[in-house]
Amino acid sequence: MSCILHIETSTEACSVAISQDGMAIFTKEDLKGPSHAVQLGVFVDEALSFVDSRGIPLDAVSVSCGPGSYTGLRIGVSMAKGVCYGRNLPLIGLSTLELLSVPILLNSDLPEDALLCPMIDARRMEVYSAIYDRALTLKKAISADVITEESYKEYLNKQPVYFFGNGAKKCKEVINHKNAIFIDDIIPLAKWMFPLAEKAFVNNNFKDVAYFEPFYLKDFVASKPKKLL
């Protein structure tokens, strides 16, 4: 098993963790943010001091790479790159929406046909979302969605869909369907990154440290050619 430093700054929460042998052995969290510019460096220094003082060699750095807050993602990825350069470590980039799904999969008793719809608030009635099955197979691509009462009906009419993340709260009054289940207080945190990071590490799924950038979803959407009406 590997020892991985995890960094998560995609929302207002700022968190850092270290996992070894599939368990979190160090965690630091600030849920009151956003205070990434102040707290992240302190948390990372404490994490590195923790492993160094115990003679534990780091094998990689993983970072939550979006979608999410532009500023938060930029700070988190910059820090992860800095540690990778300084210690000659490989970089793992993880989808924030997949990360949000991890505590649901670990702690909830889901039906076999359940679908997961993690949501990150994108202001107004817009959310960043995707839909996954229980194996985290992508069923609906990551997108910026304006939520209406018709949203996700093609999935809701067939099977239960679990909505969670800080974007789901504002959707409760809009998405009214017997198959819509809302789970509160699910936050993307570094301590939940280890299952995804371990899988990426085993598969040698690393990012190019020099050229890797966060997934700024709105920039991606804006860059698509627009259809002429």
**pLDDT tens digits along 75-123:** 999 999 999 999 999 999 999 999 999 999 998 789 999 999 999 999 8
Structural contact between residues 121 and 170, judged by C-beta atoms closer than 8 angstroms: yes
pTM as predicted = 0.92
* Residue 6, pLDDT score: 98
Tokens of 153: 């009906």
- In this prediction, residues 191-209 reach a mean pLDDT of 97
77 phi, psi to nearest 5 deg:
-70, -40
| Rounded CA separation 218/4 (Å) | 30
Mean pLDDT of the chain: 92
Helix axes 70-87, 36-53, angle to 10 degrees: 30
Cα dist from 217 to 59, 137, 138, 144, whole Å = 29, 20, 17, 7
